[in-house]
Amino acid sequence: MKTTIELPDDLYRRVKARSALEGKTVREVATSLFQQWADGAIPRGADQPAVDAPRQHETAASEWLRRFQAIGTELSEMHPDGSAVEQLYVDRRRLDR
């Protein structure tokens, strides 16, 4: 059956680009998503409005920053004589000799 669905231009471009990268057509992606939804395979709540997306990105960014800072702290403890950047600079200068 043929149908027409109106999508925001930006969303369609993103779907088209990602589907092309994965070697699929937009039709294949849409059919797969409709099938999953009809089968109940998409978890409840997955169809929440996009307003939750910024909160999810903020949480992910906060977690990334926390982990990045922990790595920085760990590196600083491994090299108490200077920052990790300073140590990398010293190591690079040794390699260039």
> Average pLDDT for consecutive 10-residue bins of the chain (97 residues)?
90 92 92 89 63 71 86 74 71 80
Q: Are the C-beta atoms of 72 and 84 separated by less than 8 Å? A: yes
Residue 25 pLDDT = 93
DSSP state of 95: H
Q: Determine the Cα–Cα distance for residues 87 and 6; give it in Å rounded to an integer.
A: 55
DSSP state of 8: -
pTM over cut 0.95: no
Q: How many CB atoms lie within 10 A of CB 35?
A: 11
Residue 27 pLDDT = 93
Q: Dig out the tokens for 70 from the structure.
A: 């922990």
